[in-house]
Amino acid sequence: MRRFRAGWLVSSLLVPLASVVAGFLVGALAIVAAGADPLQAYGALFAGAFTNRNAFAETLVSTVPYVLLGLGLALGFRAGLFNIGAEGQFYIGALTGVFVGYSIHGLPLFIEIPAALLAGMAGGFAWAAIAGFLKAWTGAHEVITSIMLNYVAFLVANYLIDGANGKPGVMVAPNVSTPRTPDVDLGAMLPIIVPGSRLHLGLLLALIAVPLVWFLIERTTVGFRLRAVGFNQGTARAAGISVAQTIVLTMGISGALAGAAGIVQVLGLSHHMTDTVAAGYGFDAIAIALLARSNPWGVLPAALLFGALHNGAGFMQLETQVSSDLISIVQASLIIFVAAPAIVRWLLRLREQPVETVQITQREVETPVG
C-alpha cells in the first residue's frame, strides 16, 4: 500500500511539477539567447498573467475560448478523428451566431444569448460535419478536408464582411468605416461578471462545458459509441454501431464546441465580428487538447496555462521588448515536458513506471469507413 501511495504521489504531483519546471528552464535558455533577462521576463510574464491590475481576469478571458476549443478537439481525438479544422469552425460559429445576435431585437437576454449561442454552435456543427460526412462516405481524409475548410471558412467570413470588388459585404455594419458586422443586440451581449474587467459570462459557460463534455464521453452511450469507433472500427461495426453516423456526429459536436468558442468571443468581447476574429486560435487549440491528453478535465488546466501565457505575453514584451513570438518557445518547451512524462522520469531516474505509450489521438488508420 505505501509503495502504491508513493508511486501515486510521484506520478500525479512530482512528475507534472518537474515537467513544468523543466519546460520553463528550457524556455529560459531561449530568452537568454534572445538577449533578455529570464528572471525579468518570467517576472513580467507572471505579473502580466496574474498580479497586475485585472491581469487574472484577463487571463481568464483568454482562457475561455481555449477551454471550448480544447474540449472540441479532445472529443474528436477520442473518436480517432484529427479535427484540424477548429479555426474554420470558430469562424463559421462566430458568423452564424453574430448574424442571429444582431438580427434579433429587444428580447430578454435569457432568450437572446441562448439563441445566438445555439446559432453559433449549429454553424460550427454543420461546418465540421462536412469533413465528417466526406470521411464517412467517401473516405476523404479529415486532415486534408479540415485544413482546406479552414481556408474556405476564413474566405467566406471575409467575403460576407469585407465584401469584394469595392462592394461592401452583406454582413457589414452600415456607416462604420471598418469592415465589421453590426453590434449584436444588447440582450445578446454576455454580461460582465467581474466589474471593471472584461471577464464575461463566457467563463461560466466554459466551466459548465467541461463536466458536460466529460459526462458525454465517459457516461453516455453516445460517448461510448465514439470511443468504441475510435479504438476499433471493425468491432464497433460488428456490434451494430454505425461508424459513418458516429463520425459525422462526433465531428459535428467537436465543431459545435469550436463554434461556441467563436460566438462566445463575439458576444463577450467585441460584440461584433471581423474577419480576423479566429486568427491564431487554431493551433493553440490542438496543443491544448494534446496537453490535456484528450481528457476534458485536463483541458481546464491546459487552457488556463495557455491563457496565462497568452495574456502575460503582452506585459513580458513591454518589459523586455523581445519579439512576441518568444511565448511560443515557452509554450513548446512546456508541452514537450508535460506531454512526455517519460523524459522527466528518465531525468529524475524514476524507474517505478516503465515508459508507457501515451496515445492521445486514437486514430484507427487501417480500416476505412463504409
Partner 1 sequence: GGTTGGTSSSCSKTFKVGQVTDIGKLSDKSFNFDANVGLKAAQSDPSLCVKGAVIESTSEDDYAKNIQTFLDQKYDMIVTVGFKLGDATLKAAQDNPGVKFAIVDYTYKTYPSNLAGLVFSEDQPGFLAGALAGLLTKTNVIGEVAGLESVPPVVHYVQGFENGAKFTNPKVHPLHIYQPESGAKDFNDPDWGKQQALTFIGQGADIIFGVGGNTGNGGLIGANEQGKMCVGVDVDQYLFFPELRRCFITSAEKLVHNGVKTAITNLVKGTWVSGTVSYNLKNNGVALGPYHDFDSKISASSKAKIKDIMTKLKDGSLSTGVTA
Partner 2 sequence: MRANDGVDLAVEWGQVHALLGENGAGKSTLMNVVYGLVSPDSGEIDFDGNPVKIGGPQDAIRLGIGMVHQHFMLIPPLTVAENIVLGREIASAGVVNLDRSYRTVNDLSARYGLEVDPRQRVQDLSVGVQQRVEILKALYRGARLLILDEPTAVLTPQEIEGLFEIVRTLTAAGNAVIFITHKLAEVMEIADQITVMRRGQVVGVTTPAESKPADLARMMVGRPVLLRVEKQPAKPGSEVLRVDDLVVHDDRRQLAVDHVGLAVRAGEILGIAGVEGNGQNELVEAIVGLRPARSGKVLLEGKDITRRPTRDRLRRGVGLIPADRQRQGIILELPIADNLILSDYDRPPYERWLVRQFNTIRSAAERLVETFDIRIRSVDDPAGSLSGGNQQKLVVARELGTAPKVLVASQPTRGVDVGSIEFIHRRLVTERDAGLAVLLVSSELDEILSLADRVAVLYRGRIVAVLDAAEAEREHIGLLMAGAAA
Partner 3 sequence: MTAFLQQLDPVSLVSIMLITATPLVLAALGGMMCERSGVVNIALEGIMLTGAFIGYFVAFLTQNLWLGLLAAIVSGMLIATLHAVLSVSFLVDQIVSGTVINILAVGVTGVFYRTYLETATTAGPGTLPHWNLPLLSSIPVLGPILFQNQLVTYAMLVLIFVVHFVLFNTVWGLRTRACGENPRAAETAGINVYFVRYVNVIASGALAGLGGAYFSLQQIGTFLPNMTGGRGFIALAAMIFGKWTPGGAFLASLLFTGSDQLGSRLQSVFQVHVPLQFLGMLPYVLTIVVVAGAMGRAIAPAAVGRPYKKT
Interface ranges with partner 1 (CB under 8 A): 34-36, 48, 52-54, 58, 61-62, 151, 154-155, 158, 162-166, 177-180, 198, 265, 269-270, 274-277, 279-281, 310-311, 313-315, 317-318, 320-324, 327
> What is the C-alpha to C-alpha distance for residues 72 and 257, in angstroms, rounded to an integer?
5
| CB contact set of 345 (below 8 Å; sequence gap of 6+) | 15, 352, 353, 355
Nearer Cβ to partner 2 (159/224): 224
Cell numbers placing 145: 478536408
Distances (CA, A) of 278 to 69, 92, 242, 259, 265: 11, 10, 33, 10, 9
Q: How far is the CB of 185 from partner 3 (least distance, A)?
A: 28
- The listed partner (partner 2, partner 1, partner 3, none) that binds 178, CB under 5 to 8 Å by sort, is partner 1
The distance of closest approach from Cβ of residue 221 to partner 2 in the complex, given in angstroms and rounded to an integer, is 4
Chain centroid to Cα 33, Å, comes to 30
Question: Please, which residue, 29 or 318, has the CB nearer to partner 1?
Answer: 318
Within a 10 A sphere around the Cβ of 222, how many other Cβ atoms? 14
Considering only residues 219 through 238, tell me which ones interact with partner 3, judged by CB under 8 A.
none
Q: Does 134 bind partner 3 (CB under 8 A)?
A: yes
**Which residues of the chain form contacts with partner 2 (CB under 8 A)?**
219-222, 224-225, 227-228, 231-232, 234-242, 362
Instruction: Classify residue 358 as exposed, middle or buried by CB count within 10 Å of its CB (0-12, 13-18, 19+).
Output: exposed
CB of 239 to partner 3, least distance (A): 22
Going residue by residue from 256 to 295, which x/- string records binding to partner 3, judged by CB under 8 A? Answer: ---------------------------x--xx--x-----
The residues pairing with 192 across neighbouring beta strands, listed in sequence order, are 200
Identify whether the C-beta of residue 271 lies closer than 8 Å to the C-beta of residue 98: no
* Residues 120/188, Cβ–Cβ less than 8 Å: no
Which is nearer to partner 3, 194 or 360 (by Cβ)? 360
Do 174 and 182 meet the contact criterion of CB atoms below 8 Å apart? Answer: yes
Closer residue to partner 2, CB minimum distance, 323 or 367: 367
Q: How far is CA 353 from the centre of its chain?
A: 31
* 98 vs 229, beta carbon nearer partner 1: 98
328 near partner 3 (CB under 8 A):
yes
Q: Quick one: 104 or 148, whose CB is closer to partner 3?
A: 148
| Beta-carbon count within 10 A of 177 CB | 6
Partner touching 156 among partner 2, partner 1, partner 3, none, CB below 5 to 8 Å by kind: partner 3
Of partner 1, partner 3, partner 2, none, which one sits near residue 228, judging by CB under 5 to 8 A according to partner kind? Answer: partner 2
Q: Which does 242 bind (CB under 5 to 8 A by kind): partner 2, partner 3, partner 1, none?
A: partner 2
Nearest to 312 by CA among 17, 67, 51, 22: 51
Instruction: Residue 118: name the closest of 269, 288, 278, 267 by CA.
Output: 267
User: From CA 252, how far away is CA 122, in angstroms rounded?
Assistant: 9
CB of 193 to partner 1, least distance (A): 17
Binding site for partner 3 (CB under 8 A): 30, 33-35, 82, 84, 134, 138-141, 143-145, 147-149, 151-152, 155-156, 158-159, 163-165, 283, 286-287, 290, 322-333, 335-336, 339-340, 342-343, 346, 355-361, 363, 365-366, 368
